[in-house]
């Protein structure tokens, strides 16, 4: 038996490449990323070197055609199939369920490829809602299939907060790691030491110059932030630095939003600032908007810039993003698996393999 590990991964629903990049950083070869969104192609190809971007709707993709295209083998112990499907339907965040109806069946479609190829490893990452609705999402039957004796997968599944894995963000994600290489349960490797906070990632000391709302950065750094109205500028000037919220202007009749009159207990994070000494809240696809969550800079009167959001998602500053607008790039960033979290999943898989080989000697 060769001591060399030749791990390779296929990343379904790859988006802009957060999972693929993290796997590469762990030392795993990424053969391809698959996504039906053409807007992800340029970002993925610019950053995930030596991997093919396959533009395809998984509903119309056959197992045999993918096997042939990538020269995949069945029952390959060193193949990892990754499925991080779009998750709007199962999210607790208010979304248009009619628009996201199709996404609820993506896990079932991903399962087709797992059953056909029977890879050594399977990784699924999604919102916690797929676990709460495990019967409806198809998760329960998928886990049952993996654990059947004839299939022989040891399955770990739980909700993890990425702040424990080297990401300066509170983001809870359902994660499943299944393997049939050993009898060990594989759990993402936590990072030792204190959790990263916002101050460790953004701010002038971390290479982010002070900017005003509406600043446009035409370089690859993309320290770009949308403009805001004059009245919103006035509101932000009254929001306390480092963690303040909309209560700072709530008693000002001219500035208070009508939708919040006598509703102080609702949507408290709207117009809220990040804290310097805490991880950020979940970076959503709307993080560049001050009215869609706690996305105001800790002490500058503006929303987070595109690069700041990407950095809080743990993307390196060298990562290139492409899109037709600020909102399209923010969507790629917010939908991504944080690369550092993906790396810790990849390292856990490699550690498991090494341990399994030692035990067989």
Collect all residues with Cβ–Cβ distance below 8 Å to 106 and sequence separation of at least 6. 13, 58, 83, 85, 86
Q: Is the pLDDT of residue 95 over 70?
A: no
Split at pLDDT 50, 70, 90, the class of 97 is: very low
Split at pLDDT 50, 70, 90, the class of 339 is: very high
d(CA 92, CA 107): 18
* Maximum C-alpha span of the chain: 75
Question: What average pLDDT does the segment 239-266 reach?
Answer: 79
CA 88 distance to own-chain centroid: 13
In a domain, 325, yes or no: no
Q: 23-37, 162-176, 252-266, 287-301: which range is least confident on average?
A: 252-266
In a domain, 28, yes or no: yes
Split at pLDDT 50, 70, 90, the class of 360 is: low
The boundaries of the domain holding residue 52 are 8-190+339-360
d(CA 304, CA 295): 6
Collect all residues with Cβ–Cβ distance below 8 Å to 38 and sequence separation of at least 6. 55
Collect all residues with Cβ–Cβ distance below 8 Å to 149 and sequence separation of at least 6. none
Q: Is the pLDDT of residue 356 over 70?
A: no
Angle (nearest 5°) at CA 166 between 161 and 172? 15
- Provide the pLDDT for residue 88: 53
In a domain, 248, yes or no: no
Query: What's the token pair of residue 344?
Result: 């810790």
In a domain, 198, yes or no: no
In a domain, 135, yes or no: yes
**Number of domains present in the structure of the chain:** 1
Q: Is the pLDDT of residue 249 over 70?
A: yes
Split at pLDDT 50, 70, 90, the class of 355 is: low
Q: For residue 144, what is the domain's CATH number? A: 3.40.50.150
Q: What is the pLDDT of residues 38-91, one digit of tens each?
A: 999 999 999 999 999 999 999 999 999 999 999 999 999 999 999 988 755 434
User: Which of 188, 218, 242 has the alpha carbon at shortest distance from 326?
Assistant: 218
Question: CB of 246 within 8 A of CB of 269?
Answer: no
Annotation says 84 is catalytic:
no
- At residue 72, the 3 state secondary structure works out as coil
Question: CB of 260 within 8 A of CB of 267?
Answer: yes
d(CA 272, CA 4): 50
Burial bucket for residue 1 (CB in 10 Å: 0-12, 13-18, 19+): exposed
Question: CB of 16 within 8 A of CB of 333?
Answer: yes
In a domain, 222, yes or no: no
In a domain, 306, yes or no: no
The catalytic position among 14, 40, 84, 87 is: 87
β-pair partners for 80 = 9, 121
d(CA 73, CA 71): 7
Question: CB of 82 within 8 A of CB of 22?
Answer: no
In a domain, 329, yes or no: no
- Provide the pLDDT for residue 92: 43
207 vs 130, more confident: 207
């Amino acid at each position: 038996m060769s001591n060399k590990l030749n791990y390779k991964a296929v990343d379904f629903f790859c988006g802009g490449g957060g999972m693929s990049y993290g796997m590469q950083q762990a030392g795993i070869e990424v053969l391809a990323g698959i996504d039906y969104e053409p807007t992800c192609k340029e970002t993925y190809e610019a950053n995930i070197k030596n991997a093919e971007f396959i533009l395809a709707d998984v509903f119309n993709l056959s197992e045999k055609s993918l096997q042939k295209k990538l020269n995949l083998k069945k029952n390959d112990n060193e193949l990892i199939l990754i499925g991080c499907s779009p998750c709007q339907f199962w999210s607790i965040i208010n979304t248009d369920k009619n628009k996201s109806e199709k996404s609820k069946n993506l896990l079932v479609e991903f399962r087709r490829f797992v059953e056909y190829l029977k890879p050594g490893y399977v990784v699924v990452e999604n919102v916690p809602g797929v676990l709460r609705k495990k019967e409806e999402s198809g998760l329960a039957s998928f886990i049952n299939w993996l654990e059947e004796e004839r299939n022989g997968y040891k399955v770990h599944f739980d909700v993890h907060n990425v702040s424990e894995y080297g990401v300066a963000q509170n983001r809870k994600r359902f994660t499943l790691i299944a393997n049939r290489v050993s009898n060990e349960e594989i759990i993402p490797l936590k990072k030792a030491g204190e959790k990263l906070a916002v101050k460790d990632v953004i701010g002038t000391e971390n290479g982010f110059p002070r900017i005003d709302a509406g600043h446009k950065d035409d370089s690859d750094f993309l320290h770009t932030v949308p403009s805001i109205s004059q009245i919103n500028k006035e509101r932000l000037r009254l929001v306390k630095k480092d963690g303040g919220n909309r209560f700072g202007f709530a008693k000002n009749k001219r500035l208070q939003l009508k939708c919040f009159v006598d509703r102080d207990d609702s949507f408290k994070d709207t117009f809220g600032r990040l804290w310097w000494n805490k991880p950020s809240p979940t970076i959503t696809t709307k993080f560049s908007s001050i009215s869609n969550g706690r996305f105001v800079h800790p002490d500058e009167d503006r929303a987070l810039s595109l690069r700041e959001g990407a950095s809080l998602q743990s993307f390196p500053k060298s990562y290139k993003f492409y899109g037709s607008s600020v909102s399209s790039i923010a969507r790629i960033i917010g939908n991504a698996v944080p690369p550092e979290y993906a790396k810790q999943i990849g390292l856990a898989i490699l550690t498991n393999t090494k341990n399994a080989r030692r035990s067989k000697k």
